[in-house]
Amino acid sequence: MADHSWEIEGKEVLSKSNAIINWENDQFFSFDLFGKRYHGEIMSSDTETGKLTLKINHRIFEVKRNRPIDEIIKQLGLDKIAEKKLTVLKSPMPGKVLAIQVEVGQAVEKGNSLLTLEAMKMENVIKAEGVGIVKKICTSIDKTVEKDAILIEFE
């Protein structure tokens, strides 16, 4: 019986058991293990990384089978997720700049708040969609801007 290496909730687990899975359809399954029946559902799957999100007996688990190709991909440095490099931030809508949360020379990460724009009496926090360093701020507080106006330039 072959050993299989899995990651369950981020912890490596070696499996020697060959539990038999009974598939009801492409999403729902059940299996018997150590005399107990389990019912499962595939919540999501990512074939590129080999990760599954499973619900088994009403508990959710992140599961990944460690494949030999995964170690090769890691050694080659191909396991790094590409980050979007920011060049400019354009106004997504016409509005008034209420606040600027960054300054020239500041490094920003994806999700960082860049500025607050008021449009139709609503405050909209504009967040970074990638990474970069603020090169130039092309607007100022209380300035009215049009849609697609360049607000911030990045290095």
Report domain extents, the chain: 4-75, 88-154
- Evaluate if residue 16 carries a pLDDT over 70: no
Pairing mode, if any, of strands 11-15 and 4-8?
Answer: antiparallel
pTM of this prediction?
A: 0.52
**Stronger pLDDT, 101 or 29, i.e. the higher one:** 101
Q: Which fold has domain 88-154?
A: OB fold (Dihydrolipoamide Acetyltransferase, E2P) (2.40.50)
Report how far residue 102's alpha carbon sits from residue 116's, in angstroms, rounded to the nearest whole number: 11
pLDDT of amino acid 5? 67
In degrees and rounded to multiples of 5, residue 71 shows phi and psi of -65, -40
**Which of 50, 46, 49 lies closest to 79 in space, CA to CA?**
49
Q: Do residues 108 and 132 lie in contact, with contact meaning Cβ atoms separated by under 8 Å?
A: yes
The tens digit of pLDDT for each residue in 49-99 reads 778 899 998 899 888 877 788 888 888 888 777 788 999 999 999 999 999
10 or 92: which carries more pLDDT confidence? 92
The predicted structure's pLDDT at residue 34: 72
pLDDT at 33 over 80: no
Better-predicted residue by pLDDT, 137 or 78: 137
Say yes or no to pLDDT of 2 above 60. no
Identify the residue with better confidence: 136 or 36: 136
Q: How confident is the model at residue 18 (pLDDT cuts 50, 70, 90)?
A: low
Report the distance separating Cα 63 and Cα 29, nearest Å. 15
pLDDT at 46 over 90: no
